[in-house]
Amino acid sequence: MAGPPAARWFHRPLPRPGARLRLVCLPYAGGGAAVFRTWPAALPDDVEVVAVRLPGRENRTAEPPYTRWPPLVADLAEALAEAVPAPYVLFGHSLGGMLGYELAVREPALPPERLVLAGCRAPDIPLQVPAVHDLPDPAFHAGLRHLAGTPEEVLRNPALLALLTPMLRADLRLAETWPAGGARPVPVPLTTFDGADDPMAPPATVAAWRRHAPHGIRAHHLPGGHHFPRDRAGAFLRLLSKELAEGGTAACDPCTSPTHMSRSVPRSAPS
């Protein structure tokens, strides 16, 4: 797939050209840039939200979605280098976390300050739920309801569901065939968020990132299921704001929050 112009990959809900830091946001399977439209109001004023818009959705519905990791990572890395100035932090939820990891371990010329992952199991942990991406349509659509990421209004609209099915299959194929190149150490400091009742990335599978974080890790544990960044948005965005506060992106200093059971892990030796 030929890489489109870099600007097509990114949407800035509230442009802040003089920002101290940019937060590059990668959505979960089936998600788009709209997932992050309200985030600028909840994050520090000197942080610019740069939402990634993958092919097959929103204003890129005419473009075929990616079904393989190598071309997706290569094309997005090229666009990122061209359109997003440093310093920046990579944030990804679920599939977005996997993509953020693949971008970080590619070791770009201008690496992120930090990688922040939500609801994303470590790369040496197997898939926690049955794969659905290659099932016949009726079983695939039933699987979407079980995964709880597709809005009910989409699932109840046959025409809209048929339109979105190729993109949803492609995203889930990526998620269910990850990792792309085995488990490699994260080359920058890492922050993780997990949901206490997440069936797709249970807390223990997120805690396993510690083995892959030679530059240190901060971990936060919140109530909720797989979509806790949306369902617990207030608590989640407050913690994310602290991660992005000036000085907070460089060091793995202690971050304590008894209400949300945040935990800090000191710098560790490479695994």
> What residues does 10 pair with on adjacent strands?
52
In the residue annotation, 94 being an active-site residue is answered as yes
CA distance 186 to 211: 10
Burial of 12 (0-12, 13-18, 19+ CB in 10 A): middle
Of 94, 241, 262, 264, the active-site residue reads 94
Strand 263-265, strand 217-222: pairing:
antiparallel
| Helical segments of 151-245, H only | 152-155, 158-176, 203-207, 228-231, 233-244
| Other beta carbons less than 10 A from residue 58's beta carbon | 14
- Residues 142, 105: Cα–Cα separation, whole Å: 34
Distances (CA, A) of 147 to 150, 200, 231: 8, 8, 15
Q: Which sequence positions are flagged as catalytic? A: 94
